[in-house]
Amino acid sequence: MIHQTIIETSSHGPIVLIWSKLNGRPQIVKIIISCPTSPTDRKTTELYPGITYASCPEIDSICSEIVAYLTGKEIKFSLELLRLETCLAFQKTVLLAGYAIPHGSVTSYGLLAAHLGKAKASRAVGTALATNPFPILIPCHRVIRSDRTLGGFGGGLQMKRALLEAEGVTFDKTGRVANHHLHYQIP
């Protein structure tokens, strides 16, 4: 049975954790974040008609960590409860490399592709991140374009920028990331 747990956030809109029990343990299947063009309630009911509301201590703990992260605390989320096996092999590799980007750091789609040994696959990396089923827990918002503009994000560019700013990432007057070093960049 598939369940949903909703986190009501003040500045980013609701976040929905979609989860089920597998071998008696809760496993997160998907996280749905608010987007200006598609509210979480509509996305949830379209993807999972008849879903039920529920929670458990493990899910409550992750929800508390998400709220703490959104209020500016540095949190390294555990991957233990994520159903990563539902991702294709390439996407899983991209997501794990994105997960390794430290709090307050960014990289580009191209640098991430090069790090994975696929220097010409920056678009494929972007697609893998665009379909990240676990946003925030796997911080795809930390990946930007090579020209230091934001690129895309499921919660919208305003949310992506807000998440990065909360981590201490700064922007110049043109809206480009001002940090000098990109993660995965060869010094």
Catalytically annotated residues: 140
DSSP conformation class of 186: -
What CA–CA distance (Å, rounded) separates 123 from 129? 10
Burial annotation 76-104 (CB, 10 A radius, 16+ → b, else e): ebeeebbbbeebeeebebbbebbbbbeee
Amino acid at 113: A
Cα 68 from chain centroid (whole Å): 15
What CA–CA distance (Å, rounded) separates 40 from 32? 6
What CA–CA distance (Å, rounded) separates 45 from 8? 17
